[in-house]
């Protein structure tokens, strides 16, 4: 005997509902009518129909909420939902997002019937004899179940909204700081961690009392090596327990790519809300993480010399201007070293421009190896480099320049074919004078550098004041 598909029709307008039910009956469907979204959800959960037709806007719960609820329940996950409403791209979008089989503009009866038949045929082909499955309400009243799902949906939307606000963080570190402040309000955990794939970064929010344990657990769980830069947020918002359940780990997607990982180390085992929270955060964090990375990349491109990886001239000048004001305010010392690679044109002519680029990169690395954290090295232009040494008088700067000169002279720089390239440089050193501008300081270092070149190259010369004393 041919089975007649039973349709659950939910429409708050009685006249329109009766008319549509009659037309569906003429098309060979058995129709159960309902005027309220929540009541319709109860009927569907208690006795799943072949398909559901629901209005996008209804009393108590919307068609979008109803669809999400039915898709979340095992007994009704297979039941196709066709949503109806006025014309509009937004309505179509939300129908697709909630998992509806189709969205049909009201009044288009032929389109509605075709959508119903197609949905039922596809569901029967996919589920076969298990299509009509009785939904179980054990342990939870169906109305409580509706409330539970709506609460989860609300929680999900709140979390998503909070994470979207992180898109203005502008840096990986600030993003993690703000993320930890939010997550600690909605979950209790030992630590949380975020990793970023390109460029590789990792961050951990932990209690300072269990920092080392948390970092070790994070590295082991996420496979983060010791050479990946790590940012730490330490405060009492994270619990100081050193042991507990295994972390919940989810990939962070952005489009078709996985760009990182989010992990939460809970304090108690098997908390469903923690798992949902981690999934939601990982799903929504991708856009904010990518945005922060793009801002960092753009700032890096604006301040970094692409060939050597050093800060560029503009970024150096901005930093040096601030450092000069600090130096003069506190009557401190500040010295600069300007150097020029000797016979660089001959290196390019003899070995090729690729070898010249290799030399500049090697010089940059040699200069970086011999400085303190507070010192700054920049590419000044062409084959010229500049070093700024805060709280360093002229004699100390001269020693730094001399050590750098010897390192370059003894450096083992070779072409890609293994041909050695002899490299030396000429250095000019100057210490800032009282009320002197940065331009004047750099100019004196530049003149001292050209004195070194005219005196035979591969040497260090210091600038003198107008009176002949060391500046």
The answer, yes or no, to whether residue 365 has pLDDT greater than 80, is yes
Task: Give the per-residue pLDDT at 459.
Answer: 96
Question: Which pLDDT band holds residue 303 (cuts at 50, 70, 90)?
Answer: confident
Output the pLDDT for position 391: 94
Q: In what order do the strands lie in the sheet with 257-266?
A: 230-234, 201-206, 189-196, 257-266, 248-254
The pLDDT score that the predictor gives to residue 206 is 95
Which helix H or strand E contains 259, and what residues bound it? strand 257-266
Residue with tokens 């209790």: 188
User: Does domain 150-302 correspond to CATH entry 3.40.50.620?
Assistant: no
Q: Where in the chain is the domain with CATH 3.30.70.270?
A: 313-462
pLDDT digits (tens, 9 = 90+) for 371-428: 888 899 999 999 999 999 999 999 999 999 999 999 999 998 988 888 999 999 999 9
Per-residue pLDDT reduced to its tens digit, 45-67: 888 898 999 998 887 778 888 88
Q: What are phi and psi of 21, to 5 degrees?
A: -60, -40
In DSSP terms, 31 is beta-bridged to 7
Q: What is the pTM of this model?
A: 0.52
421-459 confidence digits (pLDDT tens): 999 999 999 999 988 999 999 999 999 999 999 999 999
pLDDT-above-90 percentage for the chain: 49
- Which residues belong to CATH 3.30.450.40 in the chain? 150-302
Triad 19, 20, 23: Cα angle to 5°: 90
Confidence category of residue 465, pLDDT binned at 50, 70, 90: low
Which CATH fold would you assign to the domain 313-462? Alpha-Beta Plaits (3.30.70)
Residue 135 predicted with pLDDT over 70: no
Give, in degrees to the nearest 5, the angle at Cα 441 between 438 and 443.
Answer: 110
Question: What does the pLDDT read at residue 230?
Answer: 93
Q: What are the start and end residues of each CATH 3.40.50.2300 domain in the chain?
A: 6-135
Cis peptide before 76 (omega within 30 of 0): no
pLDDT at 91 > cutoff 90: no
Residue with the larger pLDDT of the pair 145 and 174: 174
6-135 domain in CATH 3.40.50.2300?
A: yes
What is the average pLDDT value for the chain, to the nearest integer?
87
pLDDT tens digit sequence for 241-279: 888 899 999 999 998 899 999 999 998 886 667 888 899
Helix, coil or strand: residue 263: strand
């Amino acid at each position: 005997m041919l089975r007649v598909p039973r349709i659950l029709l939910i429409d708050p307008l009685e006249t329109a509902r009766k008319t549509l039910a009659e037309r569906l009956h003429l098309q060979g469907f058995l129709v159960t009518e309902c005027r309220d979204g929540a009541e319709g959800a109860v009927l569907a959960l208690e006795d799943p129909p072949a398909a559901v037709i629901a209005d996008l806007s209804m009393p108590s719960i919307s068609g979008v909420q109803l669809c999400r609820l039915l898709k979340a329940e095992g007994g009704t996950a297979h039941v196709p939902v066709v949503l109806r409403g006025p014309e509009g791209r937004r309505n179509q979008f939300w129908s697709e997002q909630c998992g509806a089989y189709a969205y049909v503009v009201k009044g288009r009866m032929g389109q509605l019937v075709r959508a119903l038949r197609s949905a039922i045929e596809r569901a029967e082909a996919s589920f076969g004899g298990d299509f009509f499955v009785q939904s179980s309400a054990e342990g939870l009243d169906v109305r409580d179940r509706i409330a539970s799902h709506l609460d989860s949906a609300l929680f999900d939307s709140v979390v998503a909204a909070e994470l979207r606000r992180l898109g203005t963080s502008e840096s990986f570190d600030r993003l993690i700081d703000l993320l930890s402040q939010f997550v600690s309000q909605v979950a209790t955990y030992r630590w949380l961690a975020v990793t970023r794939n390109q460029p590789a970064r990792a961050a951990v929010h932990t209690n300072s009392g269990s920092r080392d344990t948390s970092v070790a657990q994070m590295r082991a769980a996420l496979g983060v090596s010791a050479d990946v830069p790590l940012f730490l947020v330490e405060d009492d918002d994270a619990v100081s327990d050193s042991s507990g359940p295994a972390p919940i780990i989810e990939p962070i997607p952005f489009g078709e790519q996985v760009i990182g990982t989010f992990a939460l180390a809970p304090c108690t085992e098997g908390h469903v809300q923690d798992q949902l929270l981690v999934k939601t955060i990982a799903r929504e964090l991708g856009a904010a993480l990518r945005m922060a990375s793009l801002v960092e990349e753009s700032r890096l491109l604006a301040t970094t010399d692409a060939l050597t990886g050093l800060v560029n001239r503009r970024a150096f000048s901005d930093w040096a201007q601030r450092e000069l004001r600090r130096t003069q305010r506190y009557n401190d010392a500040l010295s600069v070293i300007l150097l020029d690679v000797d016979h660089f044109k001959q290196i390019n002519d003899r070995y090729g421009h690729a070898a010249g680029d290799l030399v500049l990169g090697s010089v940059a690395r040699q200069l970086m190896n011999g400085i303190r954290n507070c010192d700054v090295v920049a590419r000044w232009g062409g084959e010229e480099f500049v070093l700024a040494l805060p709280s360093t008088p002229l004699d100390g700067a001269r020693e730094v320049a001399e050590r750098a000169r010897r390192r370059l002279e003894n450096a083992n720089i070779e072409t890609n074919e293994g041909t050695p390239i002899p490299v030396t440089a000429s250095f000019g050193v100057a210490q800032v004078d009282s009320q002197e501008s940065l331009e004047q300081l750099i100019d004196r270092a530049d003149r001292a550098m050209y004195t070194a070149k005219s005196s035979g190259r591969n040497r260090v010369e210091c600038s003198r004041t107008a009176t002949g004393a060391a500046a």
